[in-house]
C-alpha cells in the first residue's frame, strides 16, 4: 500500500473543504484516467507543458515547463481558487477512499476501500479518521469479495492547534508531536498541512510545481501539484485536483504513489466526499471543537512524544539545483 503520513491525510482533509458529493461508484471520467500509457500524467498540449519524468530520489528539478500563456492562465485559476478556499471556517464530511494497485487486485478493481470522517475548524484544527477498512479477498463468481484484515484499522490523526497526534491502532501507539509557537495558528497550514484551506497561491507554488492540464471533461479545471520537498516526494509523486470551472469547488482528488508508473507500479488513491457541511456549525461550535480533543489512548498503548520539525524550504536557486552552494 502507499505510505500515508499525517501530512498526506491532511492534504486530503484540506482538499475536501468544499467538495460536492457524488454518488458512490459513479466516478467521473477525469478521475478514472490516471495517466497516459507512458506512466506520466496527461498534459493539455506540448505547447502548454513539456513533461520530464520525476522520481522519488532524483534531484528536485521541474518536471515540466510552462509557456508564459499557460502560466498566466494558471495564476488566474490559483487566485480564484485562493479566494474561494479562504472562506472555509468549519467543515465536516464523510469520505470513501479507493486504493488501486493492479498487483493486489485485478485491473479495474480497487485493492482496498476505506470509509471515514474528516473535520476541520479554522485556522489550525483538523481530524482524519478511517472507521472501516476492507481488502480485496478474491472473486465470488463474477463479483469481487472484500473483507477486513486482523490488526488493520487505517489512519487516525488529529491536530488540536498545539500538537499533531497520530493514533496507530495497529501498533497500539500514540505519537504526539508538539508544534513550535511559530507554527501554531494559520501558519500551520503552510507547514505540515499542504493544500487548500486558506490556500495561498504564492506559498503553494513555493512548495509544489503546479500546472493546469486537460481534464477531458467540459466544465472541469484539472490541476496537478508535483512536490518539491523530498519529504513530500517520499509520500506521493503528484496530486491531481479537479475543480468546477465556474465556482472552483473541488470535485475529485487523486494521489499517486511516489514510484507510480502505469506499467511497473500502478498505485494510486482516489477519494469521494459526501455529506459535506461547510460553515454550518453555528451555535454548536463549542461542541464541534471537542472533535479535536482526542480521547485518551488505552492504558496499554505506548506513548511517543517529540517536537515537530518543519521541513526547510530551499532558496529558489537551490530548489532548482540542490547541489549549488547555499545562498548566504
In degrees and rounded to multiples of 5, residue 246 shows phi and psi of: -90, -40
Overall pTM surpassing 0.95 (yes/no)? no
Q: Indicate the range of 144-148, 245-249, 261-265 predicted with least confidence.
A: 245-249
Q: In CATH terms, is domain 6-30+41-295 a member of 2.50.20.10?
A: yes
Residues 6+ apart with CB under 8 A from 109: 136, 144
Q: What are 93-108's pLDDT values in tens digits?
A: 888 999 999 999 998 8
**Where do the domains of the chain lie?**
6-30+41-295
21-44: average pLDDT: 43
So what's the pLDDT on residue 321? 43
234-248: average pLDDT: 85
Q: What are 51-63's pLDDT values in tens digits?
A: 334 444 556 789 9
pLDDT confidence bin for 5, thresholds 50/70/90 = low
Cα–Cα dist 152/226, whole Å: 30
Element (H, E) at 208: strand 208-213
Amino acid at each position: 500500500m502507499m505510505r500515508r503520513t499525517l501530512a498526506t491525510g491532511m492534504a486530503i482533509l484540506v482538499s475536501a473543504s468544499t467538495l460536492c458529493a457524488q454518488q458512490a461508484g459513479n466516478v467521473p471520467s477525469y478521475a478514472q484516467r490516471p495517466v497516459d500509457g507512458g506512466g506520466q500524467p496527461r498534459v493539455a498540449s506540448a505547447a502548454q507543458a513539456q513533461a520530464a519524468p520525476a522520481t522519488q530520489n532524483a534531484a528536485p528539478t521541474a518536471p515540466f515547463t510552462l509557456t508564459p500563456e499557460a502560466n498566466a492562465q494558471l495564476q488566474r485559476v490559483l487566485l480564484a481558487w485562493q479566494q474561494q478556499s479562504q472562506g472555509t471556517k468549519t467543515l465536516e464530511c464523510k469520505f470513501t477512499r479507493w486504493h488501486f494497485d493492479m498487483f493486489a487486485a485485478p485491473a479495474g478493481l480497487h485493492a482496498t476501500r476505506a470509509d471515514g470522517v474528516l473535520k476541520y475548524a479554522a485556522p489550525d484544527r483538523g481530524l482524519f479518521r478511517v472507521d472501516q477498512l476492507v481488502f480485496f479477498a478474491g472473486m465470488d463468481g463474477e463479483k469481487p469479495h472484500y473483507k477486513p484484515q486482523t490488526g488493520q484499522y487505517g489512519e487516525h490523526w488529529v491536530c488540536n492547534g498545539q500538537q499533531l497526534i497520530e493514533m496507530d491502532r495497529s501498533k497500539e501507539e500514540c505519537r504526539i508531536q508538539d508544534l513550535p509557537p511559530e507554527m501554531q495558528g494559520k501558519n500551520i497550514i503552510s507547514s505540515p498541512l499542504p493544500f487548500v484551506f486558506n490556500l495561498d497561491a504564492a506559498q503553494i507554488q513555493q512548495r509544489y510545481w503546479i500546472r493546469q492540464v486537460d481534464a477531458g471533461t467540459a466544465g472541469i479545471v484539472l490541476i496537478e501539484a508535483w512536490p518539491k520537498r523530498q519529504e513530500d516526494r517520499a509520500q506521493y509523486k503528484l496530486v491531481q485536483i479537479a475543480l468546477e470551472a465556474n465556482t472552483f469547488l473541488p470535485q475529485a482528488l487523486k494521489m499517486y504513489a511516489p514510484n507510480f508508473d502505469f506499467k511497473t507500479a500502478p498505485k494510486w488513491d482516489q477519494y469521494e466526499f459526501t455529506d459535506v457541511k461547510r460553515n454550518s456549525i453555528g451555535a454548536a461550535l463549542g461542541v464541534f471543537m471537542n472533535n479535536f480533543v482526542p480521547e485518551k489512548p488505552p492504558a496499554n498503548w505506548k506513548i511517543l512524544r517529540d517536537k515537530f520539525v518543519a521541513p526547510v524550504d530551499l532558496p529558489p536557486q537551490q530548489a532548482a539545483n540542490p547541489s549549488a552552494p547555499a545562498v548566504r
